[in-house]
Structure 1
């Protein structure tokens, strides 16, 4: 048996454009946690492949915090089993560019294809500059998969590959560094029978696990959605009636992060009349404004 349980004949190789992956991780961190993040962790992405090749370039050392984080992550990437790292150089001048990265990645994919070292190849990238390399691999008889973030992909590159798959919300989270994941948590998911949820609300007077209902509404698909504050953890929670006798509960200490992540998991919702104390904690787009009743015609103040 090969790496991670693959049989030796299943030689699936992954090639990663490190600059693309790091940019997508940083955008993910800004979108869902409100902070920048320049580190990464390839273990979650690479564990499905027999071999992984990671291509990147050190950042400008003037940005000392980024340079140090880059070196730590590169060292950790090199220690992963079956993962190999190739680094390019950064050009000097006003407009710095990576050199010897994209070309080396393309040449290595072609070389492994012509030498029949692999049975299939996956490229994690989004730049249309890789189109000629992908087309050459396909012509050589290699089955090519493309892995990308759906908001940042060249249509030409996507169409050139045999198939494509997207890095979803969870993939990007687990591609962040250990330090980032330790300090920034995903929403907590759990489920209850409907009676159990009502029981929690009925126990508000008790000191343990008190739930305060602070707003209610519906998901985009019409399911009942309720917002609650949970004590003593002081977490916010979104409770969604699944329609199958169960309620899904998503919780997080930050209301904005809770809403962003739940929406990324496929639950868009609106609530009305959020308790005034917590109204400012939630993003405006999830709050359904109640329109004032129209005045009867001819009414004179």
Structure 2
């Protein structure tokens, strides 16, 4: 049994989604080194340590998450290292710490329960707060985008990142209501633009808030770069586990693993055989795993979660195709 155990005193304020399934996909053996790319409240990291990982490097760009993890790191006896960085920079950050490769990488994409529950962070319209949404507490805020972007740019953000079909109507309403500095005010503008009836299950402001959060934190580009970084640091036989919460994220992970496992393409029997592509860098790509009804009943935020996992081959990592945003 690992000397590190999860106690009630260190319990996370949220429940890690698909925890058992993620741990099964990682299949941690004693002495291994793992990366938790999205530390949050430390749920996955603590489970990795309990499973026997010798070292866990936990990344988070949110300084509050890093500060909140100090007690967990202290209790780990040096086995947990907190890294205040974006997970897309894991290759550089690990190299700086003398680590060239790891046995597993886990990514839990999107906003954390802690961030959603803190009104002052501005991620949610459930409680009124400043329109912020910055995970790293730096750079352009949601208020900056809402009040400075032109109507066309706003509509594009809402359409592409929130899949808002009436993006132009919402963008027009936002521009007309400027300045908007509070989450409650923005939610009211969107509801008036789209029509909101108390009996409707999903609040019409949900898509707008998702879109702005993704834009503020460059989440889709971060995911794409993070997947490439994981490919670069994983040893042959290393495991990758990625949990996503909406279709935009899941599509990126599915496409990446399909292409990297050699499953993309296939051609036609009526055409000449296609030229062989690069050697697959991942194998044993699992089917999408979703939470059980029991887990959703315990934790409603798990409802939209999807886990995809794969194992690294011995082939060399592909050349980076995405120009890094943070050299």
Q: TM-score scaled by structure 1? A: 0.30
* Higher RCO structure, 1 or 2 (CA under 8 Å, sep 6+): 2
Which protein has the larger Cα radius of gyration, Structure 1 or Structure 2? Answer: 1
More strand by share: 1
Q: What is the TM-score normalised by the length of structure 2?
A: 0.28
Q: Which of the two has greater helix per residue? A: 2
